[in-house]
Each structure stands twice: as structure tokens, then as C-alpha cells.
Chain A
Amino acid sequence: MIPTKTAVSNNWWVIPGSFAVALLLTVIPYPDWMRFAVPQWVTLVLFYWCLAIPDRIGVGSGWIVGLLMDLLLHTLFGVHAVTKAFVAVVGVTVHRRMRMYHLWQQCIVLFLIASLEIGFVGWIFHLTNDVSLRLIYWQSALTTALVWPVVYTILRYARQRSGMIQIR
């Protein structure tokens, strides 16, 4: 089987644009009660692109976006970078199977990925900043899974409108 590159269209900015929106949604201030309930926007967008066009968006892109996130959130360099690379490696590895899944099954997978991610970041904070791990941190994994169908629908629409079609 010959891997075909995704058709590069004039609308290449859809990908960086969607990441920019995700980063923006990450840094805008939220009320204190939803401090731990903010979905992992970057994970959602990254995972979508890994499923849709794994030959263009993968581990490297995930790592770079994560590094940008570390910069934006003023966390240790590498914390979010490595978790986003993890999200991407899972996404790229299972993208064929995921495409067969129902949306709600994808939600479960995302819940697991986001849980691991939050666990890792929380653990690093535990080591460096003396923050104790609490169950409440995992609210975000739940919301991430819950908003996946919405993000998926929007991004699929954006991808189809921009003419990015994968022939494989």
C-alpha cells in the first residue's frame, strides 16, 4: 500500500488556526469553580488531527504545541510537551481503529488519555511544587470526553470545507 500524502490545499491555515483557538481557550480566565473542569482543548484538537491526517500531524507537532503550552502556562518546559507527544503517539497509533469506533467509544478513549495526561502533569506538580494530588483534578478528563463530539463535529466540518481530504 502506498501512503498518499494528504492533499495540501490553500487552506493550510485551518490546522494552525485550530491549535491557536485551542491555546486561546486554554489561557482565557475561567471562574474559580471550574478551575479543574476546563477541558483539555489542545488534546482534543491534536487528537482530532492525529486521527484525520496522521501523516501530517503527529508526535513532533504534538510536542511543539505542548512546548508552546508550557510557555503560555509558565509551567516547567517539557511537562505539557511530553504529555501532548503522548496524546499524539496514541492518536497516530490507533487512528485506524478509532475511525471505526462510535463517537461515544471515542469519548471513552479520550477520557483515558486525558486522565493519564492529568495524572502526569499533576504528579510533576506534586514533585516540584508540593501540590497534593486530589481526585478533583480529574474533572477535566470528564469534561474533555464530554466535549469531544462537539469538537469532532466542528473540526470535521472545517476540514471538509477547507478541502483537506485524505485518500487512503
Chain B
Amino acid sequence: MVILRQINSLYQFLFLVLLSAGLMIIDHRSDTLRTVRSWASMITIPFHALGELPEGIAETARSYYPNDAVYQELEALREKQLKLESHLQRYDALVAENSRLSKLLAAARRSEDQVILASIVNAGLDPFSHRIIINRGAEAGIFVGQPVIAPNGVIGQVSEVNLNQSIVTLITDRSHGIPVQVQRNGLRTIVQGQGAADQVGVPFLERLADIRKGDILVTSGMGGRFPAGYKVAEVNEIITDANEAFLSINATTTARIDFVKQVLLVWDNDRLAIE
């Protein structure tokens, strides 16, 4: 009987291997399972809620503090400051851009981008990819490919939208590339994730490219996904190897992704106006 049971479980296993392989292929190749996932992700909410419990308790304790009104005002101001900072970070870039374009007198007037605030859900995903969960989803109008920024710079883009949470792929993920330009001189290139926290690479710049340590890389708006002018990274190391065609450049993300608690999701009004 025991032997029989073992053979049974082997058959079961083989059957499940085939089933899983089918699921993986379907999930990878098509969007059929997306709705299933979107609904089934409701199951994950209690787990995330439990994971956030310690912090929630601290938060509640703080709100019972006598100066409740002051606390609420502080929260409101904090949120406001976050939004203002996000607008502000574009101004450095705009000033630089302005000085370049002033001669041309044809700089298009930019409108403010529309943003919405989201919190990062305190939960880990698989260790192989750099992704985070945020607490806004389809109900808030989030869409796949939407830029996600923190007060100090871009952190990634939405890669999966569920009912009321979304997955954000960070700019540090290996599969993520973002078109940027050097703020100082407008040199255009790409920033690629390297699978390391806070570190990104700039893979395709030739040896004679005008780039220095300390240069700030901002989004260039090429590709039409990220609006132009948001900070992305700061160059912190340039290695020149005579045998290599390209420079090996390491940059640090300007947003300290590990410490970010709240993020802003951006609707690019310039693009909306065009569409």
C-alpha cells in the first residue's frame, strides 16, 4: 500500500508538472490569467495587512496622542510637501533647459503634471527582481507603464495593475531601462538597472562622451513613457577601459528607494494633450 501511495504521488507530481508548465506558458505569453490574478490578489490582502500590523499599531498609538489636530495637520502638510517637492525637482532641469532654449524662443510651455499619492505596501516579492507593491490599482485609474516617482527622483514604472494594488518595477531591476539625458549638457543616453539596490548603470556611452562624476541624469522624455525633467541618478564612478568600446559608468539613484514610503503616480499632461 505504501508503495502504491508513492507511485500515486509520483503520477500526481507528473500531472502537476504538466499543469504548471501550461500555466507558466499561458501566464507568460498571454494576458488571459490577468483577470484571474487581479481578483485572486484579494487573498493576498490579509497577508499584507498582517505584515504591516506592527507599523499600524505604532501609527494608531501616535494618533491617540493628545494633539490629534496637530497630528492631522502634520500629515496633511507632509503630503503637501511631498507633492511640492516632486514638482520642485523638475525646476533644476527646467532652468538648465531654459538657458539652452532661450535663444530659440520656442520652448513650449509645460503644464504641471497631474499626480496621485500612493503608499508602498510593506511586503517583499521574489528576491530575483526589484519590484514593489503599491496600494493603488485599477480603481484609482492606474495603468501599466505609468511613471512612479518619489520626492527625489524617478523610482520605476507600473508593470501590473490589480483591482486595488499595483506592482511597480523599479529602475534598479535588471529588465528596466529608462531614457535619460545629462542635465549639464543634454547628452542623451539610457540608464539600465543592475539588480543592485540604489545602483544603476549607463551602458552605451562611448569613451569620448562628455560625462563626469557628479553629473545628474534626468528623464529625457524620449520613448514617451516618462515625462521629461525628473531626476533619475547621479554618476558616481566612471571606469575607462581602453579595450572596451563603451565607458563603464556606475550611478546612484537620486531617490533612496529603500527608504521611500510614499510615491507619486504621474499622468503626463503634455502627452494627454497630444493624445
Q: Which residues of A contact B (CB under 8 A)?
A: 1-3, 20, 23-24, 26-30, 32, 35-36, 38, 54-55, 58-60, 63, 68, 71-79, 81-82, 85-86, 88-89, 92-93, 96, 121-122, 124-125, 128-132, 137, 140
A71 touching B37, Cβ below 8 Å: yes
B13 touching A68, Cβ below 8 Å: no
Write out the residue numbers on chain B whose beta carbons fall within 8 Å of the beta carbon of A28. 51, 122-124
- Given A27-B47, A72-B44, residue A131 in contact with residue B27 (CB < 8 A): no
Q: Name the CB-closest residue of A to B23.
A: A78
Q: Name the CB-closest residue of B to A132.
A: B174
- A3 CA to B2 CA, complexed, in Å: 8
Interface string of B146-170 (1 = CB under 8 A from A): 0000000000000010000001000
Write out the residue numbers on chain B whose beta carbons fall within 8 Å of the beta carbon of A60. 12, 16
B10 touching A137, Cβ below 8 Å: no
A89 touching B175, Cβ below 8 Å: no
- A3 CA to B17 CA, complexed, in Å: 27
Write out the residue numbers on chain A whose beta carbons fall within 8 Å of the beta carbon of B122. 28-29
B124 touching A27, Cβ below 8 Å: yes
Write out the residue numbers on chain A whose beta carbons fall within 8 Å of the beta carbon of B124. 26-30, 38
Write out the residue numbers on chain B whose beta carbons fall within 8 Å of the beta carbon of A131. 128-129, 174-175, 195
Instruction: Name the one of B1, B13, B40, B133 contacting A59, with C-beta atoms under 8 angstroms.
Output: B13
A78 touching B123, Cβ below 8 Å: no
- A124 CA to B27 CA, complexed, in Å: 13
Write out the residue numbers on chain A whose beta carbons fall within 8 Å of the beta carbon of B41. 71
A85 touching B13, Cβ below 8 Å: yes
Q: Which residues of B contact A (CB under 8 A)?
A: 1-2, 5-6, 9-10, 12-13, 16-17, 19-24, 26-28, 33, 37, 40-41, 43-44, 47-48, 50-51, 122-129, 131, 133, 160, 167, 173-175, 195, 197, 258
Q: Name the CB-closest residue of B to A66.
A: B20
A93 touching B47, Cβ below 8 Å: no
What 18 additional pairs, Cβ within 8 angstroms, besides A77-B23, A89-B12, A121-B126?
A20-B47, A27-B123, A29-B123, A29-B124, A35-B127, A58-B12, A59-B13, A71-B43, A72-B44, A74-B167, A77-B24, A82-B20, A124-B24, A125-B126, A125-B129, A129-B174, A131-B174, A131-B175
A59 touching B9, Cβ below 8 Å: yes
B125 touching A76, Cβ below 8 Å: no
A82 touching B17, Cβ below 8 Å: yes
A130 touching B174, Cβ below 8 Å: yes
B24 touching A3, Cβ below 8 Å: no
B125 touching A73, Cβ below 8 Å: yes
- A74 CA to B258 CA, complexed, in Å: 20
| CB of A4, distance to nearest CB on chain B (Å) | 11
Instruction: Name the one of B16, B37, B160 contacting A81, with C-beta atoms under 8 angstroms.
Output: B16
| CB of B40, distance to nearest CB on chain A (Å) | 6
- A27 CA to B41 CA, complexed, in Å: 13
27 contacts between A and B (CB under 8 A): A2-B1, A23-B47, A24-B47, A27-B51, A27-B123, A29-B122, A29-B123, A71-B41, A74-B125, A74-B126, A74-B133, A74-B160, A74-B167, A75-B126, A76-B28, A77-B23, A78-B27, A82-B20, A82-B24, A85-B16, A92-B6, A125-B128, A128-B28, A129-B129, A129-B174, A130-B174, A131-B129
- A30 CA to B41 CA, complexed, in Å: 21
| CB of A31, distance to nearest CB on chain B (Å) | 8
Residue of A3, A23, A82, A121 with highest tally of chain B CB at under 10 A: A82
B20 touching A78, Cβ below 8 Å: yes
| CB of A36, distance to nearest CB on chain B (Å) | 5
A78 touching B21, Cβ below 8 Å: yes
Residue of B16, B22, B197 with highest tally of chain A CB at under 10 A: B16
